[in-house]
Chains A and B, each alone.
Chain A
């Protein structure tokens, strides 16, 4: 059978259908050139995710995660199920199909063979390409690296990034005026970012991140050094220690009802993978100054359960993850209490610097994970405490918010398989006995059809400081909902995706002064006339309640707001050239008014083979009536940064990204972005305001791998 499969595959390759040629991913991944090529392949994936979440922080997490994955591609022939689960867009069905294929036919001889795995489609393979390699079969348990070898053969990387805005912002102009000195930026307009990392095959890793935002002082009484510093040391697969991290790390347990500081796919019109899967504990190696843990965390294998081969598979496996964290957070403490936690991560003015690291957050917790042949169960418990009382100003909408010094959560999560169906979910409870529940099902009734369904019930009183699960709102609280998504491969080159989400907020929310509900749905058709070309058309519509404008100290009447969006995206590759055209339009309707937004962009990429440079140019024209009509547009950027520029008003934007590889180990990149607005003579607000209708930012990156 395998011979027949390979004959089919060979025929496909000979016939010139390059779609099957994923190519032999290199064993070595330290070449900068290779990284650049790979980076281009997964940016569209991040764009899709970010556009749905409309959250740049989330995008940075994704970027970091995918960057790490691409630097340490997963060896498919020796990968454990957990390793495959770390590729977030792979569905449970696809992982199962791949494992069955490996079990049935033996190791893959080429990545092209993945096309023969049931449930794999071209898009998934394209996305997978940067993150996987074949790998040689190895015996279990995995050999532990000798420290001497690790230090000798480990890969190191230094990234230095500098950037600034060319126009003078109001915050710097005030600095020369003594009367406005308290309301001005104390530092220079340069953004500085330095990152050093060591990596030995993903087993031993350490890294240091230093960052100073524009306007922050490099050295003053408060800052003894750079504004933000992050360090981690990570050890993996050391006897019973599966993962040990000292320093900064992220956690994710179950579906995120209790704790998930990393990423999730969320609502997307590009796939049906809605389940949160992935590692329990992972290093934090980005400039994101919030949402991570600082201290020590480890996963111990209490009883091994090796999934890969029948010979080594046990009846069940049990793992335990324990962690402890102490973090300083920005908050203004007055008389032993604080009302808000600052998440801006900026310390440019005296006022911003005064609240830096004033609050201490202590967290400890444990998670048990039980794995069997048919499913997986998890038990999580964590408790957290502040060194001051959290006491936000009482408002009707926030009466169920967390208050006090201490809180805690516990949860039970599950993943079960039955006759090709996957059931997953989590039941969470907070320290006050309030509950939250999420359950989902993934069905695969036909090789051309995938369906996922998810329901959620987060009671208004449920409190989870670290919660981050599937939701319409920003927190895991005060939401009931039903979500369904499907993907239908209608014809050979056509794919249809759709989702529908119905949500109810049983209590008031910020900006919505009554219990409310809404819906969100999308349909997307993708046509691939050839492997190098793609045509996508997407319609989205979201209806939500929002307050009518008026006095803020009273409960306001609420109106429905509907936002209809349409996108046409055409992309094509021809040799060294790649083109992408995106047209976006939207219509926002309320009782009072109808407003429209439009954006069109053209991107041209030139990456000549065997040349040390590549170039990406993008031009965008936008015209929106209102901020509600803003359009998020992805822009290629330096590694580790992510540009999802919101377009509103009338104007255009031009961006240029130039990469130049000096040697095999050293690369320089420059990014220039220039926006011109037709509808204003001042750009930005407050201290970020710039006189004139133009805004130019320039950034550069120095990357050295050795």
Chain B
């Protein structure tokens, strides 16, 4: 059954020229869906943030298919003026390969307002020697409305970049996310997010995180459309952090994601 789905997705990819993996590759504010994000229902606000220098290793397994796995590495480094990050994400197999490299800069313009901009390059290649690529941009901003209430905005591909192929340009999707993160106690966080992908149905995400101990966190979430329950755990050992998350698609089954990071 899974093989049929892969074949279907591949045929869909070849006919529409829009890769399933391409969309997944770009998901989230950091162009990667980490374990925390997936556990909180796939919201981009759930993505691991770090105010210190850190390196993140991430692996997503959509529907637990190794052929669709997305691997990424991200390096963040706060400087005096801004926080910089570099990301490289890769997916594909022998038939097709996709790569995304981005460089981001964000800065707190005041105590509670952060603005970030990213520029990236996406590249794909097929076994048939067809290949292409384009420059992309991302914008995100975050502002604290209240002490315990933060709003995040994320816009992917605001300039409407597309892969130039003469008369058959391949459009890349554009999306707008808005989410709120609310902490009613020191131990609990609630997340709600709306995601709109151009020409797609509206998607919402709901997540809840509870810190059982300082070193161990439980998470659960829900997202639609389609309706997908999710769960996960997170923890830390000194400077090492880990998170594991998973969700269930009503037809395609289980997806999982694992992230490990080291801070210094």
Contact = CB atoms under 8 A, between A and B. Distances in A.
Interface stretch (A32-40, A51-59, A410-418, A570-578): A570-578
B146 A530 contact: yes
B70 to A, nearest CB: 25
A322 interface: no
Contacts of B178: 568, 581, 583, 600
A619 B112 CA distance: 22
A602 interface: yes
Nearest to B140: A602
Contacts of A581: 151, 153, 178
B196 A535 contact: no
Contact of A650 (B112, B141, B199): B199
Interface string A524-536: 0000011001010
Interface residue tally on A, bucketed by range: 20 to 34
Nearest to A679: B199
B171 A678 contact: yes
B196 A529 contact: no
Contacts of B110: 574-575, 577
Contacts of B160: 652, 676
Contacts of A602: 139, 141, 153, 155, 176
Contacts of B153: 581, 602
A116 interface: no
A619 B140 CA distance: 12
B202 interface: yes
A535 B155 contact: no
Given A533-B146, A623-B198, A574 B151 contact: no
A529 B174 contact: no
Contacts of A102: none
A574 B155 contact: no
A676 B161 CA distance: 11
A621 B174 contact: yes
A642 interface: no
Contacts of B11: none
A376 B115 CA distance: 54
A31 to B, nearest CB: 26
A110 to B, nearest CB: 27
Nearest to B160: A676
A623 B151 contact: no
A654 B155 CA distance: 12
A672 interface: no
Interface string A615-651: 0000101010000000000000000000000000011
A69 interface: no
Interface in B23-72: none
A598 B202 contact: yes
Given A581-B151, A621-B196, A678-B198, A652 B158 contact: yes
B198 A621 contact: yes
B155 to A, nearest CB: 6
A654 B158 CA distance: 8
Nearest to A576: B109
Given A581-B153, A602-B153, A535 B145 contact: yes
B143 interface: yes
B113 interface: yes
Nearest to B151: A570
A120 interface: no
A535 B202 CA distance: 21
A530 B178 CA distance: 21
A604 interface: yes
B219 to A, nearest CB: 25
A579 interface: yes
Contacts of A583: 178, 194
A652 B174 contact: yes
A585 interface: yes
Interface in B125-167: 139, 141, 143, 145-146, 149, 151, 153, 155, 158-160
Contact of B112 (A535, A574, A652, A679): A574
Contacts of B146: 529-530, 533
Nearest to B157: A652
Contacts of B145: 529-530, 533, 535, 570, 572
A575 B174 CA distance: 30
B113 A579 contact: yes
Contacts of A604: 115, 141
Contact of B155 (A533, A575, A619, A651): A619
Contacts of B111: 574
B143 A623 contact: no
Given A579-B141, A604-B141, A650-B198, A621 B109 contact: no
B103 to A, nearest CB: 20
A602 B115 CA distance: 12
Contacts of A600: 176, 178, 194, 196
A678 B200 CA distance: 12
A574 B175 CA distance: 26
Contacts of B202: 585, 598
Contacts of A652: 158, 160, 174, 198
Interface of B: 109-113, 115, 139, 141, 143, 145-146, 149, 151, 153, 155, 158-160, 171, 174-176, 178, 194, 196, 198-199, 202
25 contacts: A530-B146, A535-B145, A570-B143, A572-B143, A574-B111, A574-B143, A576-B109, A577-B115, A581-B178, A598-B196, A600-B194, A602-B153, A602-B155, A604-B115, A619-B139, A619-B158, A621-B196, A623-B198, A650-B198, A650-B199, A652-B158, A652-B198, A676-B160, A678-B171, A678-B198
Q: Which 4 A-B pairs have the closest CB atoms?
A: A574-B110, A600-B176, A529-B146, A574-B113
Given A530-B145, A600-B178, 19 more contacts: A529-B146, A530-B146, A572-B143, A572-B145, A574-B143, A577-B109, A579-B141, A581-B151, A583-B194, A602-B141, A602-B176, A621-B174, A621-B176, A623-B196, A650-B198, A652-B174, A654-B159, A676-B160, A678-B199
